[in-house]
Amino acid sequence: MEFVLYGFINAVQPINLLASLLSVAMGIMVGALPGLSAAMGVALLIPVTFGMPSETALISLAGVYCGAIYGGSISAILLKTPGTSSAAATALDGYPMTLKGEAGKALTTAVVASFIGGLISSVFLYTLSPPLASLALKFGPAEYFWLSIFGLTIIAGVSSKSMLKGLISGALGLVLSTIGMDPMLGVPRFTFGNNNLLQGLPFTATLIGLFSMSQVLLLAEKKIKEKVKAKEIKDKMALSKDELKRIIPLSAWSATIGTVVGILPGAGGTIASFIGYNEARRLSKQKELFGTGIIEGVAGPESANNAVTGGSLIPTLTLGIPGNSVTAILLGGLIIQGLKPGPDLFTVHGKVTYTFFAGFVVVNTMMLILGIFGAKYFAKVSNISDDILIPLIFSLSVIGSYSITNNINDVWVMFAFGIIGYFVAKFKLNSAAVVLALILGPIGETGLRRTLIMNHGNPAALFQSPISWVLITISAASILMPLILTVLGGKKIVEKEE
């Protein structure tokens, strides 16, 4: 409780409140721009946080994350073009509400539901993180090896439409993670005589290249054209008491589901949003109105996808397994700040961690305030054309990469990974799996080699722990699950045709 109280007192310090306000505003604008993503916004912000205190830096990153997830609903509702993939389900009823002249009501419903989702996921963040961190104390080298395998299979299996392409993405990340000094022998690997690669790939420059510079190339590939103009908001933003009664219980239920989905690494906000939409429809007494513009159709998915933000942080902070591409980047920011996921975050670095948790609550509160009073203005961001976005993102990517170590080689690495990220997108591979493999590759390699060294090369040592068998089982399940879902989906289509 001492850490909890300290965290709330520290989170409401003026500097942290200002960081929350500005980062949420930035996140909303990034999310509202179709084609940009929360991952890109967080990646661009990481270099800016280097000079900040650890607490302020983490709160800022969380602000962009939460703001971008909500911001995606703005363009989904006004343009039927989700700003982020997590807002895809929101467009199903959000845009019909706009066509009926209820855009303001739809935007208010989205931010209220998003706030409820973020708040409930914060409760889970407080209650579930410490027990999971205690479990991490029982992990040895063999368990860390299987934990890395679990993380890779989850991302590869769930985040990609094609399991094969997901696995290829993970394999690419694993190959890239071997660049640098051998962790056990100290021998240079795949550096090609370049001393700048002895420490491995510069992590932040790599992220900016994969998620930001690649987006520049994708936007530039299209002919510069004017975006569709956002619908003008003419109706009142306020919700009636009856409407609040309709969405609050639904939002709370969807938030619980979204948090659980977020805890499963790789599941992501898109899956959670569609589950939330289906739950809203299942629980509604007016099922026939879904798809025609109904506030429950906005509240369900928005509450669920925003609850993923807190849920995805739980495995990231306790086990070092990012829940999605954004938390993979956040994990990089955590490591840059000198904080290692695991039990130490809740003991040695308890003040920083619980300030971050309290800051997460503050960030969601800021999102509610900005969403209610600023939605009309944030909506105009959707009208920014590509001819402005391309040079802006390009400049921020170059400046962000160079500012890390003031080394021009980081900029060249960023450009190289911008090209790699472009082809990853063109071949419909998975950037999240590449990033996750860059983080988990060294952990898995070190765990495997240490286990074999400690047991004189006996591979049976990898299968002796009960925790190892649990991780092996869920890793196998994560690979098989997409296949099962594909088969079931095919059967449903056949049944409908018949």
- Residues 206-256 have pLDDT tens digits of 877 887 788 778 777 765 444 555 566 666 777 778 888 888 888 899 888
pLDDT at 372 exceeding the cut of 80? yes
Give the residue-averaged pLDDT of 392-421: 80
- Exposed (0-12), middle (13-18) or buried (19+): which is 488, by Cβ within 10 Å? exposed
- Token couple for 320: 């070092």
pLDDT value at residue 166: 74
Contact 300, 254 (CB under 8 A): yes
CA 163 to CA 166: how far, in whole Å? 5
The answer to whether the CB of 88 falls within 8 A of the CB of 287 is no
- pLDDT (mean) for 53-65: 88
pLDDT of residue 150: 76
Q: Where are the alpha helices (DSSP H) in 80-159?
A: 91-99, 103-135, 141-158
* Three-state SS at 189: strand
At 222, give phi and psi (nearest 5°): -75, 150
Half-sphere exposure of 97 (CA within 13 A, CB side): 33
* Predicted pLDDT at 373: 84
Q: What does the pLDDT read at residue 404?
A: 61
Residue 107 has pLDDT above 60, yes or no: yes
What are the residues facing 180 on neighbouring strands? Answer: 189
**DSSP secondary structure string, 365-422?**
HHHHHHHHHHHHHHGGGGG--HHHHHHHHHHHHHHHHHHHHT-HHHHHHHHHHHHHHH
**pLDDT, tens only, 290-332:** 878 888 888 888 998 888 888 888 888 887 777 677 787 788 7
Comparing 72-76, 238-242, 432-436, 445-449, the range with the smallest average pLDDT is 432-436
Residue 496 scores a pLDDT above 50: no
Structure tokens at 250: 């639904």
Greater model confidence, 356 or 205? 356
Give the pLDDT mean for 178-206: 82
Residue 378 has pLDDT above 80, yes or no: no
Buried b (16+ CB within 10 A) or exposed e, 400-416: bbbbbeeeebbbebbbe
Q: What are phi and psi of 180, to 5 degrees?
A: 120, -160
The rounded radius of gyration (Å) of the Cα atoms in the chain is 22
Measured between alpha carbons, how far is 310 from 31 in angstroms, rounded to an integer? 17
Q: Are 281 and 294 in contact (CB under 8 A)?
A: no
Q: Is 188 helix (H, G, I), strand (E, B) or coil?
A: strand
Taking residues 271-296, report their average pLDDT. Answer: 80
What pLDDT band is residue 495 in, cutting at 50, 70 and 90? very low
